[in-house]
Structure 1
Amino acid sequence: MTTVENTPTTPAATDMIGDLRDAVAGEVITPEDTRYDEARRVWNGVIDRHPAVIVRCINTDDVAAAVRIAGVYRPEISVRGGGHQVAGSAVCDDGLVIDLSLMNSVTVDPAACTARVEGGARWADVDRATQAHGLVTTGGEVSITGVAGLTLGGGMGQLQRAYGLACDNVISMEIVTADGELRDVSATENPDLFWAAKGAGRGLGVVTSFTFGLRPFGPDAAITQVIYPYEEAESVLRKWRDAVHSAPETVSPEAGLWSIPPDPSIPAELHGIKMCLAAALYAGDPADSAAALAPYSQLGTPMIDQSGIVPYVEVQSALDPMVPDGRRYYFKSHFMNELSDEAIATFIAFDQKRPTPLALTIIRTLGGAIDRVSPDESAYPHRGARFNFSIDCIWDDPADDERVVTWAREFFQAMRPFATGGVYMNFAGFEGENDVPREATHGRDARVEQVLRTYDPTGLFASAAARV
C-alpha cells in the first residue's frame, strides 16, 4: 500500500488532542511521538496508515471519554482490538484510533464456566487462562488473532461444529455506544444491539469486554494432520469431501493446499514442497477419538503423518510462526453448499498458479452446532452453508503486492459459480471489498442498519462500519 504522508495538524485536531490528553488516563500518541510508528502498525504489513491521534485506553472510562470527544470533533474513527484484521480496519488515515490493546485481561469463573475477556485480548490470552481450568470456547485457529474482531465477524475455529462459532458462545458484552455511554448488552439488555454485534459487530460502538460461556475440554487434544503428495490432491480432496458428509460434530475437518513449512520436526529437504493437507481436532476425550479421526489419514498415500495427542494451547498456536506481525496478508473467501468435482478441479487449477509458496488455500467444514443456532439469534448470515473456502495470501516482498492480490481476486472470481454469494466478514479482502449481494445476507443488512440508526443516529462510527 502506498504510504500516506502526514498532513499538518488542523486547529480542530489540535483542540481534540488537547481534550483527549485532559480526559484520558491512558496514552495519547500523535505523529510527533517517538512511539507513533510502532503504535500505528498492525498485523498486516501491507497496511501503512497515519492517524492524527491514537488513544491507548486503559479502562472503559478512557473509551467513553474518547467517544464523547469524538462526538464533538467528528473525526474518522477506527477501533483497534487485537489489530489482526486482514483489511487493517484497526487504523485509519488522519483520524482517531481508539486502541484497546492495553485492555487485554481475561478473568475466568470456573464455577460458572464463563470468561470475561477485555476487547484488546488475543486468543492466546483466552486459551492460556481458560485451559488453566480445563475449559475452552471456540477461538481463532491462530492464537495471535484478536478476540474482538474474530468474534464480531462470526468467529470460525477448530471447535465450531461441536460448540458453535465464537459469537455463538457470547453471553454478554459491554459496548460504549456513540453517545459515550457504556451499555450492558445481552439477550435481555439491549437485545437488538446484542443481536447485531454477533456477526455484524463493526461500527456499532466500541466493545470493551465479552463474557463467553465455556465448556470442559483439554488440556490435551487428539488431532489428525496428514500431508499427502500434491500430485494426489484431486483424489484426496474428493475422498475428503465424501468423508466429511458423515463426520460427527465432534470434528470440524479441514483440507488445504499449501507448501510444507519449515517445521523442525519435518526433514529439511521437504520444506517448501507443495502438498495437500487434511486436518481435524477432536472435541472430546482423546481416548475416544480414533473412529472420528481415522478417515482423514486414509485419503491417499501419506507423506507425513503428524497426528497424535498434543496440548490444546499448542494446537492453537502452531501456525503463529508462519503468520507473524508485519508480514503481508490478503484473504478472500466464499461460502459453499457443496464441493463438486468441478469446484475441486477449479480449486487445484488456480492453486497451481500460486504466486508465493506461503499462499494457503483451505476448505473448512461447517454445520453441526453452527446450524443449531436459529438464524434469528444473531446477525451472522451464513447458517446452513456447508463449507467455507478461503484464499489466504502470505508474502514478504512489497514488489509482489499487485501480483499476489491479482491472483487471489481472479481465484475468488473463478470460484463464484460454486458459492452462495455470502462473504465472511473477517476474510473480505481490503477495505471496500465486502460487496455482498443483499440476498446473501438474508435480510439482515436492513435490520443491522436499523440498529445502527438507533444507537448511532448521527453516524459517528460510520467510517468504522465501512472498514471491512
Structure 2
Amino acid sequence: MNDAVQVPRAAFERGAWARASVSIRRAVLLRWADKLEGHAENLAILDALSTGKLAAETCDAHVPFAARVVRWFAECLDKNQGTVGTAGEDHLAWVTSQPLGAAAAVVPWNYSVGIAVWKMVPSLAAGNSLIVKPHENAPYSALAVARLAMPQVFPRSAECPPWGTGHRSGDWAPQQNRRAVVHWINIPTSRVCWLSRQMRHYEWQNQEGCPMKATGRLGRDFTGSAVEPQHPEYDAARRVFNGMIDRRPAMVARCRTISDVVAAVRSARELGWNITARGGGHSVAGFGTCDGGMVVDLSRMRSVRVNAALGVAEVDGGALWSDVDAITQRYDLAIPGGKVSTTGVAGLTLGGGHGYLSKAYGLTVDSLLAATVVTADGRVVETNPDLEPELWWAIRGGGGNFGVVTSFTFALHRVPRVVLSGHLIYEVNHAPVVWDAFVWAAEQAPRTVSLDFVALTAPDLPEIPERLRGRSAIAIAAFAFGDLSTGARILDQIRRVVSPEADLVRPKLYTEFQGSLDANHPAGLRNYWTSASRPTLNNSAAGALLDSVFPLPSRQSVALVMKWDGAISDVNSEDSAVPDRSPCWVIHPMAAWSDPSDDERGVDWARRVRAAVATDGEAYLNFTGERSRQQVAAYFGAPHLRRLRAAKSAWDPDNVFCFNHNITPL
C-alpha cells in the first residue's frame, strides 16, 4: 500500500518510546507531520518535540495545529498510553500496515483525542478503523465508547459503568466483563465524526481519577466547565440557597469570562433550552436554577474593580455583596446593597435592591451607571442612559427577563468604615410600646439613620439575659453612618421610652454589620418569603401584624417592618422599572426551617402575616418566593407592565429567559 507507514514496532511497545533513540522518534514524528497538512518543514520544532524539551505554551503559540497534534501524540506515547503490545500480533500488524491516520488514533479516548480525531477525520482514509483502548486512568471504558459508536453490537442492557465515575479500569467491571473492558475495539471511520461530536465534551481533568467536564456542547473555546446530570458534581451544581428548591437543569455552565457566557447562551438556543442566570444563587424563589434548561452560572466571575478617584466600581455578575463591600470600604465608599452579605449583586440589583443605605442613597439600581448584557441571541450589549435606553430602563427593576448581565458599573457613595449599628432587644410583652417608639423614630430619623422592627428568636449570646435566649422577642435593628452622634440621639430617645433587655448597638465596621445576619441565613435551609406594603400603619394594622407574627414557626424565622422613603422616593417612578416610589411601610415575613415536615407550617405562617396587613400594596418581588403572573402584573401595574413587555419582545421575543418573575412578550 503506497500510503502505508512502516512505524517501527519498537516505537509502540510498552515503554519503548521513552527508550527509543532520538533518530527513531524524529523519524516517526516527521512522518506524522508530513501527513498532517504538510507542516514538516519546521525541523527545529520537530527536533524539540522528539527530545520532549519544548514547553507546551511555546508550541501552542508558534506551531500550527498539525505540530500541536504531533506534540500531543508524542506525549501520549511517552506516557505509554499508546502501547499496542497487549493487543496481539494481529492488531500490531494491522497498525503498521495501515495509512498513518489510522495508526494515529491508537490512543485512549478522551477529550483531547476527540478534538484531535475530529480535526483529523478528513485525513483518515475511507474504510479504515479507529482503534480505542483505555489505559489505567482513562475516564471510561472501551465498552462505553463502543456503545456510542455501535449500539447495535453493544446494547445498553450489557453491564457498563456510569459515565464520569473516575474509577480505574480494573474497578469498572466484574470479572465476566473484564475482557470487554481491556480489549481494543475497532470503530469504522464512518462513525468517527459522529462519535467525536458525542464525546469530545468529556474532558478528563487529570490523571488521578477526577471528574470530567462536559464542555463540548459549549464549543472548544469555552474556558469554564459544564456539569450535566451524569456528572458527580451535578447535585451540588444545581443546588441554590433555598433548600426547598429541587430542580434539575439539563446543564450548568460554570462561566469564567463573558465569552463563556456567550457560548453558553448560544449553545442553549441551538439545543432549544430555556436559560436562567445564577449570580449568588440567593433568590428565595430559586431563579438560580431550573428544570430542563441551561443554568449560566456566573459564580466564578466575582471581580470588583474600584476607581476611587472617579467614585465608580465595576462589578462582575457573579459577585456577592461581601466581595463588593470588602473592596469599596478600603476607600470609605459603598453601594446600597442587601442586608445579608452572601446575597448576589446581580439578582438584588435587577430586582431593584434595598438595604441599610437605601434611605440615604436610594435603591441599588439608582446607583447603576451602566451594564453589560448578553442577550437571548448571544450578543454582547452595553447599555446605559444613552445606549439602548429601553433595555436600560427595563433591567433596572425588571429582573432577569432580558439577558445575562455580566457586569455592572455603579456610582460609589461616601460611607466611613465605622458605623453605629446593632439591635435593641425586648420581650414580646413590650411590643405595643416598642412599636410606637419605632414608628416615631423611623419617621423622624434623618437619611443617615435606618431602623427596622424585627420579630425574632433571641440568639444565644452572652449579652442577652439567659431567660430570653431561645425565646420569641422583638427588636429594633439600627444603622447609622456619617455623624454617629445623630444616630445615637435617636436611639437614646427610644431607650428612654422603653429600656431594652439587651442593647447590642455599638460602633463597628460597616463590613462587620453587613455580615452580621449571615449566620442566621445559611444556604440549604428551607425558605418561604413574602411581603406587602402599606402607605400607613395605623394602630389597628399594627395590632393585627403583632397578633399574626407570634408564635414564630422556627428559630430561624423572622418578620421585618421597614420604612421606605428618603432617597428611594426622590426618583420618579417612570425613570426605572421599579413601579412605585411613594413612601410606604414594607412588611417582610421570612420563614426558614430545616425539616421538610415543617413546610406547611412555615408557608402558612408567612402567608398569614402578609394577609394580616395586606392592602392594595403588592409584594416587592425580590422579597417573595412565588412567581405567579397575577402577582407580577399587580406589582408592576398596567403602564409599567406594557413597557416591560415591549422591551421583552425586543430583547427576548422567544421568552428563553423565563425562570424568573416572568414578563411575557407582547
Residue equivalent to 1:167: 365
How many Å apart are 1:325 and its aligned residue?
1.1
The partner residue of 1:91 within 274, 278, 289 is: 289
- Kept after mapping to 2: 8 A contact 1:204/1:465: no
- Kept after mapping to 2: 8 A contact 1:134/1:216: yes
Q: Secondary structure of 1:222's partner?
A: strand
| CA shift in 2, pair 1:83/1:58, >3 Å | same
The partner residue of 1:34 within 194, 215, 232 is: 232
The partner residue of 2:639 within 439, 443, 446 is: 443
Residue equivalent to 1:250: 448
How many Å apart are 1:354 and its aligned residue?
2.5
Instruction: State the Cα RMSD in Å.
Output: 2.4
Residue equivalent to 1:432: 628
Shifted more, 267-276 versus 118-127: the winner is 267-276
Residue equivalent to 1:180: 378
Residue equivalent to 1:321: 519
Matched, 1:378 2:558: no
How far apart, CA to CA, are the structure 2 residues paired with 1:41 and 1:217? 35
- Kept after mapping to 1: 8 A contact 2:422/2:506: yes
Q: Secondary structure of 2:541's partner?
A: helix
For each residue in 1:315-349, what CA deviation from the matched residue of structure 2 results, as whole angstroms up to 9, or x when unmatched? 00001111111111111001111111111111111
The partner residue of 1:126 within 319, 324, 349 is: 324
How far apart, CA to CA, are the structure 2 residues paired with 1:351 and 1:465? 27
The partner residue of 1:19 within 213, 217, 226 is: 217
How many Å apart are 1:262 and its aligned residue?
2.5
Q: Secondary structure of 1:143's partner?
A: coil
Which residue identity is paired with 1:427? Answer: F
- Kept after mapping to 1: 8 A contact 2:399/2:660: no
How far apart, CA to CA, are the structure 1 residues paired with 2:513 and 2:322? 11
Shifted more, 380-389 versus 16-25: the winner is 16-25
Matched, 1:361 2:559: yes
How far apart, CA to CA, are the structure 1 residues paired with 2:446 and 2:662? 38
Which residue identity is paired with 2:434? Answer: V
Shifted more, 123-132 versus 427-436: the winner is 427-436
Matched, 1:344 2:547: no
How far apart, CA to CA, are the structure 2 residues paired with 1:120 and 1:264? 37
Q: Secondary structure of 1:128's partner?
A: helix
Shifted more, 329-338 versus 277-286: the winner is 277-286
Matched, 1:458 2:654: yes
Structure with greater strand share of residues: 1
- Kept after mapping to 1: 8 A contact 2:265/2:275: no
Task: Number of aligned residue pairs: give it.
Answer: 457
Matched, 1:423 2:423: no
How far apart, CA to CA, are the structure 1 residues paired with 2:485 and 2:537? 31
- Scaled by the length of structure 1, what TM-score is found? 0.92
How many Å apart are 1:84 and its aligned residue?
0.2
Shifted more, 423-432 versus 86-95: the winner is 423-432
Shifted more, 366-375 versus 274-283: the winner is 274-283
How far apart, CA to CA, are the structure 2 residues paired with 1:299 and 1:73? 64
| CA shift in 2, pair 1:333/1:201, >3 Å | same
| CA shift in 2, pair 1:231/1:400, >3 Å | same
| CA shift in 2, pair 1:344/1:465, >3 Å | closer
Please, which runs of 5 or more residues in structure 1 have no aligned partner?
Answer: 1-11
How many Å apart are 1:181 and its aligned residue?
0.9
**For residues 176-325 of structure 1, what are the structure 2 equivalents within 5 Å?**
176-223=374-421, 225-325=423-523
How many Å apart are 1:465 and its aligned residue?
5.0
Q: Secondary structure of 2:574's partner?
A: coil
- Identity across matched positions, percent: 37
How many Å apart are 1:22 and its aligned residue?
3.2
Which residue identity is paired with 2:307? Answer: D
How far apart, CA to CA, are the structure 2 residues paired with 1:253 and 1:288? 13
Which residue identity is paired with 1:351? Answer: V
How many Å apart are 1:459 and its aligned residue?
2.1
Residue equivalent to 1:394: 592
Shifted more, 326-335 versus 21-30: the winner is 21-30
Structure with greater helix share of residues: 2
Residue equivalent to 2:356: 158
How many Å apart are 1:30 and its aligned residue?
0.7
| CA shift in 2, pair 1:388/1:233, >3 Å | same
Shifted more, 99-108 versus 220-229: the winner is 220-229
For each residue in 1:262-299, what CA deviation from the matched residue of structure 2 results, as whole angstroms up to 9, or x when unmatched? 33543555321211111221131324433344334344
How far apart, CA to CA, are the structure 2 residues paired with 1:46 and 1:324? 13
How many Å apart are 1:436 and its aligned residue?
4.3
| CA shift in 2, pair 1:395/1:434, >3 Å | farther
How many Å apart are 1:402 and its aligned residue?
1.4
- Kept after mapping to 2: 8 A contact 1:223/1:293: no
- Kept after mapping to 1: 8 A contact 2:445/2:490: yes
**For residues 108-147 of structure 1, what are the structure 2 equivalents within 5 Å?**
108-147=306-345
For each residue in 1:343-388, what CA deviation from the matched residue of structure 2 results, as whole angstroms up to 9, or x when unmatched? 1111111112422232111101111000111112110113003211
| CA shift in 2, pair 1:409/1:433, >3 Å | farther
How far apart, CA to CA, are the structure 2 residues paired with 1:312 and 1:282? 10
| CA shift in 2, pair 1:433/1:358, >3 Å | farther
Which residue identity is paired with 2:273? Answer: P
Shifted more, 139-148 versus 428-437: the winner is 428-437
How far apart, CA to CA, are the structure 2 residues paired with 1:211 and 1:294? 39
How far apart, CA to CA, are the structure 1 residues paired with 2:304 and 2:466? 39
The partner residue of 1:331 within 513, 529, 532 is: 529
How far apart, CA to CA, are the structure 1 residues paired with 2:475 and 2:334? 26
Residue equivalent to 1:48: 246
Higher relative contact order, chain-length normalized (CA < 8 Å, sep 6+)? 1
How many Å apart are 1:410 and its aligned residue?
2.6
Q: Secondary structure of 1:174's partner?
A: strand
Q: Secondary structure of 1:310's partner?
A: strand
Please, which runs of 5 or more residues in structure 2 have no aligned partner?
Answer: 1-196, 202-213
How far apart, CA to CA, are the structure 2 residues paired with 1:145 and 1:315? 14
| CA shift in 2, pair 1:337/1:298, >3 Å | farther
- Kept after mapping to 1: 8 A contact 2:249/2:289: yes
**For residues 45-84 of structure 1, what are the structure 2 equivalents within 5 Å?**
45-84=243-282
Which residue identity is paired with 1:306? Answer: L
| CA shift in 2, pair 1:409/1:301, >3 Å | same
| CA shift in 2, pair 1:219/1:20, >3 Å | same
How many Å apart are 1:440 and its aligned residue?
5.6
How many Å apart are 1:415 and its aligned residue?
2.0
- Kept after mapping to 2: 8 A contact 1:252/1:366: no
Which residue identity is paired with 1:372? Answer: D
| CA shift in 2, pair 1:171/1:164, >3 Å | same
How many Å apart are 1:439 and its aligned residue?
7.5
How far apart, CA to CA, are the structure 1 residues paired with 2:635 and 2:515? 37
| CA shift in 2, pair 1:464/1:229, >3 Å | closer
| CA shift in 2, pair 1:298/1:191, >3 Å | farther
Q: Secondary structure of 1:443's partner?
A: helix
